[in-house]
Amino acid sequence: MKIFIDESGSFSWQPEGISLFCAVTIADREFLALLDRFHLWKQKHTNIGNRAEIKGKDLTTQQQAAFVRNVVLNSKDFSITQVGIDTRMSSRDLAEKFKAKYADIGMAASRWAKDRKMPVVERQYQEFAGWIRNRSPEHFMWILALTNVIWHAVQNSVTSFMEREDDPEWENVAIFIDKSFIKQPEHILFWQEWLRNQLHSISQRKPLLTPREWTERDHPFQRKYSRSDRFVEMSQLYRENMDFADSKANKGIQIADICVNICYRFSSVNPKYGPYRLLRAQILGPTGGTGPGGSKLVLLVLDKDSLTDGCPENHVKEFSLKEKS
């Protein structure tokens, strides 16, 4: 399966409001047919001409509704996970303090490496910590929402692709993220490292839930990511099969861009937005449900109490699978 991720909104306090990420999950067995429908929809319902990229924000309500009807609703193995930030609920000052905390942890990791005479690792974490300090609070909110939408999308994929006939979809999972404002290659490396660290942290707090039946057969997920009966370690996926991509060359990200703009218009502009009502059946709730009840948006709020959980050195240690077995 493939997971394509894009965002809408500024994650800013000027003006305050909702920004969000959407992760679009598509089965490999469905992907080529989906691209064919996307191409036909562009030909029939847009005047994009020879331009390589189409943006959701440039589409009319009618064009977005036609997109949902002609591209999405014909897809059996297509789902959306959305995670949002409302800056009216978390102050910029608090976001700045969280960012500084992660920079301090990076410096603690550098000192840890220095004590063990690992000069390359020491320098890398020192540079990483300095880079985090130079990011804005808006960047922190962006990475926070991105981390959570990836985690929820993978968890929802477990729910959506749990039957035996779905096993091949777990052989080659790939995650593509719109690189958005990230221009420099060296910055992409830092963003990837920050994202992987965040994903490892959230996986420690909230381990992925998988069906018991998967442990009873040679399921690809268990084979690739399970290290014991109680521990899933997904560094391979996040390091080797997750990448920032250019939306101009990636049709999957363009599809995610239209979906996230539909969700953004609903959440921030019009709670009766028609295209969203059409799309809603494809959006998975926090527990993977597609029914009409319950919230479809995971909304994140910064918790100031978590800033006081010890000195930075408490967050640095050598990783050992034996501790989890």
**Residue in the structure block whose two tokens are 């990836």:** 150
Tokens representing residue 216 in the block: 């009873």
Cα gap 109→129, rounded to integer Å: 9
User: Phi/psi at 88 (nearest 5 deg)?
Assistant: -75, -15
Digit-by-digit pLDDT tens for the chain (325 residues) are 999 999 999 999 999 999 999 999 999 999 999 999 999 999 999 987 666 789 999 999 999 999 999 999 988 899 999 999 999 999 999 999 999 999 999 999 999 999 999 999 999 999 999 999 999 999 999 999 999 999 999 999 999 999 999 999 999 999 999 998 787 777 888 888 888 888 888 887 888 888 989 988 889 998 888 876 566 778 888 888 999 999 999 999 999 999 999 999 999 988 899 999 999 999 997 654 554 444 589 999 998 887 756 677 666 655 443 434 3
pTM recorded for the entire structure: 0.91
Query: What rounded mean pLDDT belongs to the chain?
Result: 88
Counting other chains too, the contacts that 199-202 makes at CB distance below 8 Å and 24 or more residues apart are 199/147, 199/150, 199/151, 199/234, 199/238, 200/235, 200/238, 202/147, 202/148, 202/151
Q: Say if residues 258 and 67 touch (Cβ distance below 8 Å).
A: yes
Domain extents in the chain: 2-90+138-300
b vs e for 23-52, b when ≥16 Cβ sit within 10 Å of the residue's Cβ?
A: bbbbbeebbeebeebbeebbeebbeeeeee
Structure tokens at 128: 């990483």
Is the CB of residue 240 less than 8 Å from the CB of residue 246? no
3-state secondary structure of 126: helix
DSSP 54-96: --GGGS-HHHHHHHIIIIITT-SSEEEEEEEEETTSS-HHHHH
Q: What pLDDT, on the 0 to 100 scale, is given for residue 292?
A: 45
**Beta-carbon-side half-sphere exposure of residue 211 (alpha carbons within 13 Å):** 19
Which tokens sit at 234? Answer: 């997904």
- Say what the alpha-carbon torsion angle 298, 299, 300, 304 is, to the nearest 10 degrees: -130
Query: What is the CATH code for 2-90+138-300?
Result: 3.30.420.10
